[in-house]
Amino acid sequence: MSQAELLSEVQHFLFHEAWLLDERHLYAWLDLLTDDVSYTLLVREKTLRKDASPASDAAPTRVLTVDDKAFLTLRVRRLDSGMAHAEKPASITRHLISNVYIAAEAGDELSVRSSFLVYQARLETDDQTFYGQREDVLRRVGGDNGGLRLAQRTVTLDHVTIPRTLTIFF
């Protein structure tokens, strides 16, 4: 498979995943995850630092969540139950994925980076726009002709403040 074909396959996977999330097909989204998936959500800290050396230029991050497939499944079930009060009524989301590139390829795994913008609308007066980056490991399952699955995702939100509850997936 050429590099262009591989990039096209990766983009198709990520765009399909975004569509599933926006259409709230959350169980189908879970099917795109490997059983050993790790889903980490980070937020950049915007602080004035005493150390002004070039090595300190990268913004430090803080871990908000580290979830496995069992916990992601529980989150989906809760959203589906109607008991998630922060999602009454359910949010409308729009995931825009861009700057997709393949950082590395090793065996049946691809390291993929992308940028995102996610718009979330709740009720008539509550909306939020999220910006950030994702570092994914996509794994090919089922051999050379098999499909891609998400084995690891690290989401870094580029926000100074975040809403009181995060109920959507990135």
Which residues, 6+ apart, have CB-to-CB distance to 94 below 8 Å? 22, 118, 119
- Burial class of 138 by CB neighbour count within 10 A (0 to 12, 13 to 18, 19+): buried
Is the pLDDT higher at 47 or at 63?
A: 63
Q: Residue 73: which pLDDT band, with cuts at 50, 70 and 90?
A: very high
DSSP assigned state of 59:
P
- Collapsing DSSP to helix, strand or coil, 122 comes out as strand
pLDDT at 52 over 60: no
> Is the pLDDT at 22 greater than 60, yes or no?
yes
User: What is the maximum alpha-carbon separation in the chain?
Assistant: 52
Whole-angstrom Cα distance, residue 113 to residue 97?
10
The CATH number of domain 3-157, selected from 2.20.25.90, 3.40.50.720, 3.40.30.10, 3.10.450.50: 3.10.450.50
Cβ-count burial 105-119 (b if 16+ within 10 Å, e if not): eeebebebebebebe
d(CA 162, CA 132): 12
pLDDT-derived band of residue 51, with 50, 70 and 90 as boundaries? low
- Write 46-53 long-range contacts (CB < 8 A, 24+): 46/160
The answer, as to whether pTM is greater than 0.85, is yes
